[in-house]
Amino acid sequence: MSLFENDIAYDAPEWLTGEHMTGTTIMAVEFADGVVFGADSRTSTGTYVANRVTDKLTQVSEKIYCCRSGSAADTQAIADYVKFYLDLQENETDEDPTVEVASRIFQLFCYQNRDQLSASIICAGWDKVKGGQVFCLPLGGMCVRMPFAIGGSGSTYIYGHCDNTYKEGMTETECLKFVSDAVALAMHRDGSSGGMIRLAVLTKDGCRRMNIPGDQLPTFWSK
């Protein structure tokens, strides 16, 4: 893209023309009483860091959240649509929406617009029907329930770590360590992930948010 200044064309820098992307690391894991979320906080425009403290954990219902990766504009728009339809259902039925219903609405938008959107979503939360649940929606709109899910550019660095570390029946404390360690490892390797780690614990009692600042991230051999 060229801009004009005093009738002279020049190439605009990437940070002016690039799309805002949540090139990112997102994660969610089920445990007995609910779900633990985690994400980094970096939003990039090409190689330029546009926002160091983005919140990629987005509430769509009282006890349902989503983690967003891909185009920031696309994922924010989809989350807004899903929140609208869940609010509509709740008002009409006078019941809290289920996590699966929320995930299927995400799937509807992601699949029907798969050629126009860049959106990868993890939808998770707690409902009275099935308790804590995690649904993974990668690019293209597939929707699968999983005991844990990872996404974003940083996830490619930690598949092996997660497969080796995850075990069934983890407690809330173990899940928080699992998520924070995995996201920190991804942030260390992935140039599009960084900033701080945002964590959330969602149970029948509601959502509890936590943050790990950038200077207090878990460290490993590279310390």
Structure-block tokens of residue 91: 């008002």
Catalytic residue among 24, 45, 75, 203: 24
Do 143 and 101 contact (CB within 8 A), yes or no?
A: no
Largest separation between any pair of C-alpha atoms in the chain:
66
**Looking at the chain, which runs of residues are DSSP E strands?**
2-5, 8-11, 20-21, 26-31, 34-39, 43-45, 48-51, 57-61, 64-70, 119-127, 131-137, 144-145, 148-151, 197-203, 206-212
Interacting residues of 34 by C-beta distance below 8 A, sequence separation 6+: 126, 131, 132, 172, 201, 202, 203, 204
Which of these, 184, 141, 88, lies nearest to 123 by C-alpha position? 141
Residue 103's region, left for phi above 0, alpha for psi from -120 to 50, else beta, is alpha
Do 207 and 68 contact (CB within 8 A), yes or no?
A: no
To the query of whether residue 24 is one of the catalytic residues in this protein, the response is: yes
Residues belonging to the active site: 24
